[in-house]
Amino acid sequence: MKIVISGATGLLGSELAEHFSKCDEVFSLKGSKDINILDFSSITETIVRIKPHLIIHAAAMRDLDICEENPEQTYLVNTLGTRNLLNAARKAKSIFAYISSNSVFDGKKENAYTEFDEVNPINVYGKSKLKSEEEVKASGIPCFILRVPYLYGIDGHPDRNYILKIVKALKTNMPMILACDQKDNPTYVKDLAFMIEKVIKSDAYGLYHLGNKGTASRYEFAVEIAKTLGLQYENILIPKTIQDMKRMAPRPANTTLSTLVYETIFDKNIRNWKEALHECLEKVDEKTL
């Protein structure tokens, strides 16, 4: 199967490229150096030339505060870029898999959000992702919309990788402030890649929530890393509320995703985030710190 993956330099995109390249023919779009998704003619020409069976659109502006400061650019990249890829997919007769986000919810629900809950994004990033979902639905193309929560892995530069930044802070006694009241289901990117494969290699098109089981705040996630590695964390990992952290973009309090539809159609055997994290931490290399 020919698969085009946009955003292939990101944590998820690079994992998907590695995962699918084992059995499929993968074409990775690694950002503006390869292709500019805002260039309608160029992206259309590229996709039509490749004629992929499937396009996985993982590219996006994701930093919530940068998105909040730059709403026009966010909508251009996240929403217009999606529309351009959709039009290219239509011409190439490709199936479309859109990687969306739990940020489409306002976080007011106490328990996990299902695919049937009302959406109500409270920041620019979430609004741009919801607009993109609407573009995908309206396209008439066979499609999957895959909402994912906070993702982690150990690839990438230590200064940009969340897990490695936490480990470095713990080992160097460098204080790190973490939200204690912003919760979702942290998800190991390798687990997510397997879930995505099950979905997109079926013909069960539609909306899915994907992710590991359980829920945790950013602070609880970091504490679990410290405990697993046997590192002292008191006075290093500092819990603060979202309000006290005074970020530019508003953060929803709870965006934990329920994998109800995925479990019903595909697989009920989904790991808890702690079990997945323990496996991930086994791969932490001292030399990268």
- Please report the pLDDT score of residue 30 as a whole number: 79
- What is the percent of the chain where pLDDT is above 70? 96
For the record, the structure tokens of 222 come out as 């970091």
Given the structure tokens 């936490």, which residue do they identify?
Answer: 166
Digit-coded pLDDT (tens) for 33-53: 667 899 999 999 999 999 999
Do 143 and 136 form a contact (C-beta atoms < 8 A)?
Answer: yes
Per-residue DSSP letter, 78? I
**Domain housing 132:** 2-151+185-209
- Please report the pLDDT score of residue 287 as a whole number: 44
Q: What is the CATH number of the domain that holds 123?
A: 3.40.50.720
Three-state DSSP state, 95: strand
Query: Domain check: are 42 and 77 in the same one?
Result: yes
Query: Domain check: are 87 and 7 in the same one?
Result: yes
CA dihedral 14, 288, 157, 237 (to 10 degrees): 110
Element (H, E) at 178: strand 176-179
Query: Domain check: are 175 and 189 in the same one?
Result: no
Largest Cα separation within the chain, whole Å, is 56
Query: Domain check: are 99 and 233 in the same one?
Result: no
Digit-coded pLDDT (tens) for 54-79: 999 999 999 999 999 999 999 999 99
Total residues found in the chain within this entry: 289
Three-state DSSP state, 138: helix
Query: Domain check: are 147 and 163 in the same one?
Result: no
Nearest to 190 by CA among 147, 155, 227: 155
- Does 25 have pLDDT greater than 90? yes
Q: How far is CA 277 from CA 52, 74, 129, 282, in A?
A: 34, 31, 27, 9
pLDDT band at 246 (very low <50, low <70, confident <90, very high): confident
Count the domains in the chain: 2
Strands of the sheet with 54-57, listed across from one edge: 25-29, 2-6, 54-57, 95-101, 143-148, 206-209
Query: Domain check: are 99 and 38 in the same one?
Result: yes
pTM of the model: 0.94
Do 210 and 257 form a contact (C-beta atoms < 8 A)?
Answer: yes
Query: Domain check: are 95 and 178 in the same one?
Result: no
Query: Domain check: are 166 and 68 in the same one?
Result: no
Residue at 261 is within a domain: no
Residue at 279 is within a domain: yes
Three-state DSSP state, 277: helix
> Of 22-36, 104-118, 181-195, 225-239, where does mean pLDDT reach its minimum?
22-36
Give the separation between CA 215 and CA 250, rounded to whole angstroms: 20
- Please report the pLDDT score of residue 9 as a whole number: 86
Give the separation between CA 88 and CA 181, rounded to whole angstroms: 41
Three-state DSSP state, 187: strand
- Please report the pLDDT score of residue 224 as a whole number: 98
258/158: higher pLDDT: 258
Query: Domain check: are 73 and 141 in the same one?
Result: yes
Query: Domain check: are 125 and 174 in the same one?
Result: no
Nearest to 128 by CA among 72, 58, 210, 209: 72
Query: Domain check: are 175 and 129 in the same one?
Result: no
